Amino acid sequence: MKRLQFAGSRVIKTGVAIFLTAWICELLNWPPVFAVITAIVTIEPTVSDSIKKGIIRFPASAIGSAYAVLFISLFGNSPITYTFAAVFTIATCFKFNLHAGLLVATLTSVAMVEVIHSNYLISFFIRLGTTTTGLLVSTVVNMVILPPDYTNEIKKSVQATANDTGILFQKIFTSILDKQPDKNILHNEMIFKIDRRSNRIETLIRFQKNEAKYHPLVETKRAMFLSTEKQLVQLRLIQYHLNNVLSTHLLNFSWSQDECDIIKRAVKDLADSLQNPGKYQEKEHLVQIDLLMNQFWEDNEGITANNEQHTTHFTPELIILYELVSIFNLVTKYYNNFEDEKEAQAN
């Protein structure tokens, strides 16, 4: 639903920018097509991107217009004119790192060939005027009408990521305790899916930070945004530790039934707390960390007493327990961010 709202706002702003651009060009008796093309491609996810890319698109469009005028004066309206205008525009934009303006410059260059018949110099400056109009109008529209706000989408996406991470976490440790390593392929697919969503969230966070330069967040939303950003960092680290667990080969383990029961209970409670924040109980969480740490040190003492040698200097059981304790500590930090957010909102 949020994606539809985001797409809807972009469509509305694009429509408004097209109308205003075409209207201004009609008033100035300029052909609106080039200005409209520029306006369409200049509507970006953030105002900052519109301005940055607009600065690049203006000289790129000037290059495209110049090549169109040059080659039409040499070859007239012919196939070679279209070819040279497009190719030279692309090559020059690449040469000067004007990649963001490549599309609009090439379209402008090719489209100009059809409409220029005389007064080449005047036509060139008119194209610069229409390009400037499209850039300015679309940037102002992006800034004033429905300014982007990604905070709610970021929050919901992080919660969905936490939910999926909790599900994956429980599945991985259940397969270990049930001695089912063949399920690791499915787990890797889930990690890939979670990682892809996390990448998208990081992109939205970057958009929101850029947008904050022009539309600062109110204090409560800013607190939520900062807290959510920290939560994503914790989830990323949890994913890192889960990858380590998957890469640890543990076909047979030496844990007793009581030790397995401690791990199972800890895993279930932690998975539930990631899927449902209301189920997180800090005291119980800390008790389980202590139990796991005791088991970790007991296993470590057993290795020392028996002088056991392993390729990684640690038994697979010890590695799994270390990763599990690390994940528990990260979940503690994850929920501490919730408390910081609540305190900021209360103040």
Give me the CATH code for the 151-346 domain, please.
Answer: 1.20.58
* Exposure of 188 in the CB half-sphere (CA atoms within 13 A): 8
Select from 159, 163, 38 the least CA-distant residue to 106.
Answer: 38
Predicted local confidence at residue 306, as pLDDT: 53
3-state secondary structure of 247: coil
> How far out from the chain centre does Cα 192 lie?
15
d(CA 153, CA 211): 15
Per-residue pLDDT tens over the stretch 252-310: 777 778 888 888 898 899 999 999 988 888 888 888 888 888 877 776 665 555 555 54
pLDDT given at position 310: 47
Q: Which residues contact 151 (CB under 8 A, 6 or more apart)?
A: 208, 217, 221, 224, 225, 228
State residue 339's pLDDT score.
65
Residues lower than pLDDT 50 in the chain: 1-4, 310-311
| pLDDT given at position 18 | 93
Domain boundaries, the chain: 2-144, 151-346
Helix, strand counts (H, E) of the chain: 12, 0
> Whole-model pTM?
0.78
How many Cβ atoms sit within 10 Å of the Cβ of residue 119?
10
Q: How far apart are CA 176 and CA 184, in angstroms?
A: 10
Q: Say what the pLDDT of residue 272 is.
A: 92
Of 338, 186, 341, residue with least CA distance to 273: 338
**What CA dihedral angle connects 78, 79, 82 and 88, to 10 degrees?**
-110
